[in-house]
Structure 1
Amino acid sequence: MRGAADCPAPTRGRPRSEAAELAIVEGVVKLLEEGVPLAELSIERIARTAGVGKATIYRRWSGKEELFVDVVASIEGPDPELPGTSLRDDLIRLLEHMRRRGLNLRNSALLHNVFAQMKTLPKLWDAYHEVVVEPRRRAMHGVLRRAVAEGELPEGTDIELAGDLLSGPMLLRTVMRSDAPLADDLSARVVDTVLRGLLNAPGTEGVRREKPQVPPLG
């Protein structure tokens, strides 16, 4: 997850000026709100809109892709802090962030438009996955690995598959099925359903030291 302890933010050149960075990000958002396509946004135009020099932008971002990723992340909002109270609580917090992001995509014309454009720009789409999506995926895997180490999940749990089982339903509803409901309790229902499956998988009897508290069905 972006900003997580195991994924420190990269340093870029000189110490940053928060005021300059804010002006640059707001300049990009302003141009996007005016309908300028991502592909037509040049560093020169962004600098002019933000009231800074091009060198100021390049000291902070290596190019447009890196800048755009930070702009999209700022529109999406910060990643969640995990409570750390239990496996279930941490997983619900991660999925709830995905659910709210899906609501933002539906409610924000700007964010929806930016994502649609990003998918047509392979370099930008790859940069977004590398900087934003992959850290979030690693955060999910970190939670699951800790649960195995602490006996909340069976030894030998397929971390990759478990992460996909948890994220998949939320991604389906937020990305592929724009008409699907995103109920307030959806995150908890997904987590509880997947945990029941993981805890009752064949061959896992007697391998847990501490079973997570999962509400009963119904």
Structure 2
Amino acid sequence: MVDSTEGGVHAKVPRGRPRSEAVEQAIIAGVVRLLEEGVPLADLSIERIARTAGVGKATIYRRWDGKEALFVDVLRVFEEPDPELPGTSMRDDLICLLEGLRRRGLNMRSSALLHNVFAQMKALPKLWAAYHTTVVEPRRRATYEVLRRGVAGGELRGDVDIETANDLLVGPMLVRTVMRPDAPLDDGLAERIVDTVLEGLRPQP
């Protein structure tokens, strides 16, 4: 469990938690503490993280195969979990997925630390690749699967290119969350994007 306070993000380990999970939380909290102190990602060595968390380097390597995998788990501390899709319709599932992106955009705007970490991450190719492999790609595959179900169920035209449809849906949200930080991210944005895109992709009568 991670508790966010005005002083930053701190990991709290409740009593009764299994020892291995408590150790992992202590390590992640150690990385967050160093980031809050202004230590650049590139300067976060396993040795320094272990010293801050009060564990040995071997303890970290038993849980993560390197800094990149550890940092991806640290970033998850700042993000809401991926939404559980309602499964009632393709439209509802797509709105749910885009709403998750909108909330992440709001988190990015409200957290100077998170914004700074992502900016640094883009300059670290191995970390950026690890984040895409473990976080971005699964989300993209989830959208592909929803769109494929839409085609199979007749909610989308059979000739729709799934990758292009994904880009049409996700693109506007990414523009507002990444390229236009001053653009509104209001509550109805996900629904408007989905309905606008689907208007051109549904089967014609």
**Structure 1-normalised TM-score?**
0.83
Q: In the alignment, which residue of structure 1 is the partner of 2:90?
A: 87
Q: In the alignment, which residue of structure 2 is the partner of 1:128?
A: 131
Asked if residue 113 in structure 1 is aligned to residue 116 in structure 2, the reply is: yes
Structure 1 residue runs of 5 or longer lacking an equivalent are: 1-14, 207-218
Q: Helix, strand or coil for the counterpart of 1:17?
A: helix
How many angstroms apart in 1 are the aligned matches of 2:191 and 2:110?
22
Asked if residue 169 in structure 1 is aligned to residue 175 in structure 2, the reply is: no
How many angstroms apart in 2 are the aligned matches of 1:16 and 1:178?
41
Q: Helix, strand or coil for the counterpart of 1:172?
A: helix
Displaced runs of 4 or more, over 2 A: none
How many angstroms apart in 2 are the aligned matches of 1:112 and 1:128?
15
Q: In the alignment, which residue of structure 2 is the partner of 1:96?
A: 99
Asked if residue 25 in structure 1 is aligned to residue 28 in structure 2, the reply is: yes
How many angstroms apart in 2 are the aligned matches of 1:148 and 1:18?
42
CA contact (8 A) 1:148 1:155 kept: yes
Asked if residue 158 in structure 1 is aligned to residue 146 in structure 2, the reply is: no
Q: In the alignment, which residue of structure 1 is the partner of 2:61?
A: 58
User: What amino acid is aligned across from residue 130 of structure 2 in structure 1?
Assistant: A
User: What amino acid is aligned across from residue 21 of structure 2 in structure 1?
Assistant: E
CA contact (8 A) 1:24 1:57 kept: yes
How far apart are residue 205 of structure 1 and its match? Answer: 3.7
How far apart are residue 55 of structure 1 and its match? Answer: 0.7
Q: In the alignment, which residue of structure 1 is the partner of 2:80?
A: 77
Structure 2 residue runs of 5 or longer lacking an equivalent are: 1-17
How many angstroms apart in 2 are the aligned matches of 1:16 and 1:83?
35
How many angstroms apart in 2 are the aligned matches of 1:171 and 1:104?
14
How many angstroms apart in 2 are the aligned matches of 1:56 and 1:88?
45
The match for 2:201 among 169, 174, 198 is 198
Asked if residue 180 in structure 1 is aligned to residue 204 in structure 2, the reply is: no
User: What amino acid is aligned across from residue 143 of structure 1 in structure 2?
Assistant: V
CA contact (8 A) 1:16 1:60 kept: no
How far apart are residue 30 of structure 1 and its match? Answer: 0.6
How far apart are residue 16 of structure 1 and its match? Answer: 8.7
Q: Helix, strand or coil for the counterpart of 2:160?
A: coil
Asked if residue 43 in structure 1 is aligned to residue 46 in structure 2, the reply is: yes
How far apart are residue 156 of structure 1 and its match? Answer: 2.1
**Structure 2-normalised TM-score?**
0.88
- Aligned pairs, number: 188
User: What amino acid is aligned across from residue 162 of structure 1 in structure 2?
Assistant: A
How far apart are residue 77 of structure 1 and its match? Answer: 2.3
1:6-58, Cα deviation, whole Å (9 max, x unpaired): xxxxxxxxx99211111111110010001000000010111111111111110
Q: In the alignment, which residue of structure 1 is the partner of 2:70?
A: 67
Matches within 5 A, 1:207-218: none
How far apart are residue 155 of structure 1 and its match? Answer: 1.2
Compared with structure 1, are the counterparts of its residues 21 and 166 closer, same or farther at alpha carbon in structure 2 (3 Å cutoff)? same
1:68-122, Cα deviation, whole Å (9 max, x unpaired): 0111122112111111111111001100010010010000011001001001111
Q: What percent of counterpart residues are identical?
A: 75
User: What amino acid is aligned across from residue 150 of structure 2 in structure 1?
Assistant: A
